Amino acid sequence: MAIDELDRKILRVLSVDARVSHQDLAERVGLSPTPCARRIRKLEADQIITGYGARIDAGKLGFGFSVFVSVKLDQQVENRLVEFEKTIRDCPEIVDCWLMTGSFDYLMLVLVSDLAEYEQFLTRRLTRMPGVASIESSVPIRRVKEQAARLR
Amino acid sequence: MAIDELDRKILRVLSVDARVSHQDLAERVGLSPTPCARRIRKLEADQIITGYGARIDAGKLGFGFSVFVSVKLDQQVENRLVEFEKTIRDCPEIVDCWLMTGSFDYLMLVLVSDLAEYEQFLTRRLTRMPGVASIESSVPIRRVKEQAARLR
DNA sequence: GATGAAACCTTCACCCC
DNA sequence: GGGGTGAAGGTTTCATC
C-alpha cells in the first residue's frame, strides 16, 4: 500500500483530469497503458482514490451566491448532533459541512442564487432546524484557490 | 444554454461518477449513448462542466489533519492581495482559499499530517507571508457532508 | 433522438526483466 | 515484484436517417 513517485504522478493527472484514457495517462507519466491501469485499480482498491466527480459551475446553474455559515447547537449530546446532521444531509443548499472544535459546532458552505434566497434559507430552514442556538454568516467575495487534494 | 431535466440527470450521475461510460450513463438517464455524449459535450462547451477530478483520500496520503485558517492582512490594497494570493497558490498545504467580506480577509483550508506539522506551517510559512497581520485557527473534528455541486 | 460501422480504448493472458 | 506486448472484446464517435 506504499505509494511511489509514479503513483503520485498518476494521482496528479487524475486529480485534474479524471477522464483521461489510460493510453494518454500512460504517456504522460512515462509508462505503458497496462501497468498504468493496474496502478489505478490498486489506488482504487486501497481507497486512496475514492471516486471521480465532474466539476460543475454552480453559478451557471443559478447558484452563484455562496455563504459560510457557523452554527452553534443548544446541546452537544450525541442525539442532538445525529438529528442535526440528518437534517443537514437532506438540505440541497448545504454542499459542505464540518463538525468543529471551538466556539461553533458546525461550519458549512451554503449555495443559493442570491441574498434574497439566502434570507429565505436562513429564516425558514436553518433557524428551524432541531437544536440550532446561534448562527453566524460570512460572505465570500471570490475563491482564490481550489485544489482537489494535497499531493506534495 | 438552458438546462433541461435530462441534462440535470446527466450532471447528477457525472458529479458522483465521472468515469461512467457513455453507454452506462445513457442507460441510467434513459437515453441512447449518442445524444448522451452530445449533451455532455455541450455541457462542457458551455462550461457548466468545467472538468473532472479524482477524489483522493488525503488521510491515506499522510495528510489527515485539517485546519481552517482565517487570515487578516495589514492592508487591503490591491497589491497586497495580489502578492498574498500568489504566495497562497504556491503553497501545497493550502488546498482551498476564499477572499472574504467581514472581519477576516481570507478563509483557507490547510492539510497537514499532524499538529506538529501545522505548528511548522504556522510559524515558518504562514506568519512569514507578505502582509499577514493576524491568524485564527479552527480545527474540524470530522466532515459531515461533502457534495460536489448543488443540483436542485 | 436512434442506428450502425469505423476507429479507438481497455483488458487480459502471457512474456520479460 | 513490477513493466511490456498483442489480440479480443468493448466503447466512443460520426455520418446518416
Partner residue facing B56 (CB), from A93, A149, A152: A149
Residue-range domains of chain B with CATH:
5-45 (1.10.10.10), 58-138 (3.30.70.920)
Count of CB pairs separated by less than 8 Å, A with B: 218
**Per-residue pLDDT at B92:** 97
Give B97's contacts (C-beta < 8 A, 6+ positions apart): A143, A144, A145, B85, B88, B106, B107, B108, B109
In the predicted model, what is the mean pLDDT of chain A?
97
Q: Do B107 and A54 touch (CB under 8 A)?
A: no
Say yes or no for a CB contact (<8 Å) between B95 and A149.
Answer: yes
pLDDT band of residue B1 (cuts 50, 70, 90) is confident
Contact call for residues A15 and B54 (beta carbons, < 8 A): yes
Cell of B18: 465521472
Task: Give the helix/strand (H/E) hosting B76.
Answer: none
B4-24 residue pLDDT tens: 999 999 999 999 999 999 999
Q: Is A77 on the interface with B (CB under 8 A)?
A: no
Average pLDDT, rounded, for chain B: 96
- Dihedral sign for Cα atoms in the order A35, A41, A42, A43: positive
Q: How far A151 CA sits from the closest chain B CA (Å)?
A: 8
Q: Mark residue B15 as left, alpha or beta (left: phi above 0; alpha: psi -120 to 50; beta: remaining).
A: alpha
pTM of the model: 0.94
